[in-house]
Each structure stands twice: as C-alpha cells, then as structure tokens.
C-alpha cells in the first residue's frame, strides 16, 4: 500500500512517477474509483430492491387497491393487526412451517446420506456427483409440471408403478393430506442434491490424518463419524440448511405449478397466500403488510445465515 502512484492517467505524467508526496490525493483517487465502481451496482439495487420495499412499507399502512385506484387512505397498523389475527393466515403459517420443516429435514438427511456414501467411494465419484446434481439445475417450472404429470391419479407413472406392484392408487395431488406430502416430496427431490453437494464439499475437506489417528486408536466407525466427521462437516451443513430454509420459506413457483394451493387451501403457503391477496383479491395495502411481515421473517433468517457464514469464514 506504500507504492507511490501517479495522480492521473495522463501519459506525460505517468513517465515521471514522482516518489513520496501524494499520500492524501492518492487515497482520494482510490476512494473516487471505489465509489465509481460500486455505485452503479448499488444504485440498481436501490432502485429495484430497496425502493420497492419502501413503497410496499408505505402501502402497508394504507387501504390502497391496485385495481380500484383512487387515493390511498392511511389506516395505521390496521392491515398488520388484520393479518396477525387472521385465522386464515395462521393456517397458512402452519402449512408453511410443516412444509419448510418437512422438506428441509428430508433433504438434509437424504442429502447428507448420499454425500457420505459418495465420499466413501473410490471410483466414479465425479460421475455420480454430476448425475445426482441434475434435479437441482432444472427450473421449478419444469420440475413442477413434470411431477404433476407423474403424480396424476389416472395416467401418472407413479400410480402405474404402484399398481403393478399390487398396491392401491393414491390421489397424490387431489387429497388434502397427500397434496402437502407430494409438495414436500417434489421439493425434496429437487433440492436433496443441494445439501449433498455442500455436504460432500465438507466431507472431502476433513483431513484424512484424523481418520488415520482414530483407526490407530481402534475407534469404532460410529465413534469416528460422531467425533470427527459430524463436527467438522456440521458448520457447512448448517449453512446449507439455513439457505434451504430461506428458499423454502419464500417458495412460490413450485406451489403455483404443482397444486395452485389446492385442494382447498391445503398446500397454500404464506407466499402463495400473499399472491392471492395481492393479485386475486386486489387488496394491495393488506398484501403489502403481509409481504413486509414475510420480509421481516426472511431478514431474521438471513441474519442467522450471515452470522453463521461469518463464523465459518473466520473459523
């Protein structure tokens, strides 16, 4: 950082690369450069992310409706109390909770198991990993559509396979209970590779001398797993789990495509309900308050995520 620096790009001045002096003005030009380089990106974020959220915050205190138009009347915290006390919202929150916890738990267990099995292979690990990653790269639209076809009660391949095994048919997407299960299964199918990928990264990073030392001590496999593998992979795994939890909480497209919230409201998550309030009910003010509350949840989760990320980076 002590390098003497010419002040301008002017070729005449460059040649003369004057030694000491320019401390102050050099820092200035660095700062200028930093501002010039970061501000366009920050401006775009301000315009497209921060400003809309502030607008939503404003709307959340009004009774504005995007279709009715007209002036927005200030209603104080009316929208917020309406949402927080609504039984409908409580039900959606419960659905979302079941979905998030169910899907993320399944993904974590399965993803870690697959990663563990792959990490014990000597041959074909690259090929296996690549194959397992395919579902994750697909668009939720493709995933949702395709599972909808496969889970179809009449000509879906899943029921057809159940039938040839002599088992009964299941109305996957048209029964209240099973629809939510189907949603969890499909999300698990798509995102298990995500956990697997990150767990595998953690597993391959465990130094092998630890295992060697443990096997000299004749430690049992389970003991090694519990005292070496798990503690070393856990921090990274936790990052992956939190990341998935945030994503699952804000998930919209898969619900929209797979079940559209139905049957009834059995698979309506919070983000799907927001959509209905905003775009089908046209209560923009209420929907904004709803959205802001969701943003608050996301912010809490994100803070948790970033804190662990920070810990991981420093540790």
- CA 230 to CA 242: how far, in whole Å? 17
Q: Counting contacts by CB under 8 A, is residue 94 touching another protein?
A: no
**Tokens coding 98:** 């079941």
**In the chain, which ranges are E strands?**
none
Beta-bridge mates of residue 62: 74
Residue 155 Cβ vs another protein, minimum distance, rounded to whole Å: 5
If phi > 0 it is left, if psi is from -120 to 50 it is alpha, else beta; for residue 139 that is beta
- Indicate which single residue of 21, 23, 25, 49 sits in contact with another protein (rule: CB under 8 A): 49
Range 9-28, binding another protein (CB under 8 A): 9, 14-15, 17
Range 252-311, binding another protein (CB under 8 A): 252-253, 256-257, 271-272, 274-275, 278-279, 284, 287-288, 290-292, 294-295, 298-299, 301-302, 306, 309
- Indicate which single residue of 155, 166, 217, 315 sits in contact with another protein (rule: CB under 8 A): 155
| Interacting residues of 131 by C-beta distance below 8 A, sequence separation 6+ | none
Q: Mind spelling out the 3-state secondary structure of 26-53?
A: HHHHHHHHHHHHHHHHHHHHHHHHHHHH
Give the residue with the Cβ less far from another protein, 180 or 289.
Answer: 289
- Indicate which single residue of 81, 176, 215, 227 sits in contact with another protein (rule: CB under 8 A): 215
Range 193-212, binding another protein (CB under 8 A): 193-194, 197-198, 200-202, 204-205, 208, 211
Cis peptide before 260 (omega within 30 of 0): no
- Indicate which single residue of 84, 94, 97, 157 sits in contact with another protein (rule: CB under 8 A): 157
Give the residue with the Cβ less far from another protein, 101 or 299.
Answer: 299
């Amino acid at each position: 950082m002590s390098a003497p620096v010419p002040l301008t790009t002017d070729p005449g001045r460059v040649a003369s690369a004057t030694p000491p002096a320019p401390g102050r003005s050099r820092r200035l030009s660095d700062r200028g450069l930093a501002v010039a380089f970061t501000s366009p990106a920050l401006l775009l974020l301000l315009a497209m992310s921060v400003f809309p959220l502030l607008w939503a915050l404003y709307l959340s205190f009004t009774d504005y409706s995007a279709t009715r138009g007209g002036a927005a009347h200030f209603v104080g915290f009316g929208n917020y109390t309406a949402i927080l006390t609504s039984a409908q919202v409580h039900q959606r929150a419960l659905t979302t909770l079941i979905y998030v916890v169910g899907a993320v738990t399944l993904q974590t267990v399965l993803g870690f198991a697959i990663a563990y099995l792959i990490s014990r292979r000597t041959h074909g690990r690259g090929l296996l990993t690549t194959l397992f990653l395919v579902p994750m790269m697909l668009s939720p639209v493709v995933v949702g559509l395709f599972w909808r076809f496969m889970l179809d009660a009449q000509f879906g391949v899943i029921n057809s396979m159940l039938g040839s095994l002599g088992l009964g048919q299941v109305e996957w997407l048209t029964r209240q209970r099973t629809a939510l299960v189907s949603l969890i299964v499909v999300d698990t199918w798509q995102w298990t590779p995500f956990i697997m990928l990150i767990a595998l990264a953690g597993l391959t990073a465990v130094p092998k001398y630890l295992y060697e030392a443990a096997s000299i001590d004749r430690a049992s496999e389970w003991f090694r797993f519990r005292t070496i593998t798990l503690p070393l992979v856990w921090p990274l795994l936790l990052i992956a789990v939190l990341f998935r939890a945030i994503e699952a909480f804000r998930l919209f497209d898969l619900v929209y495509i797979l079940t559209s919230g139905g049957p009834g409201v059995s698979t309506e998550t919070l983000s799907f309900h927001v959509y209905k309030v905003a775009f089908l009910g046209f209560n923009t003010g209420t929907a904004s308050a709803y959205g802001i509350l969701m943003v608050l949840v996301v912010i809490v989760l994100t803070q948790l995520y970033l804190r662990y990320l920070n810990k991981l980076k420093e540790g």
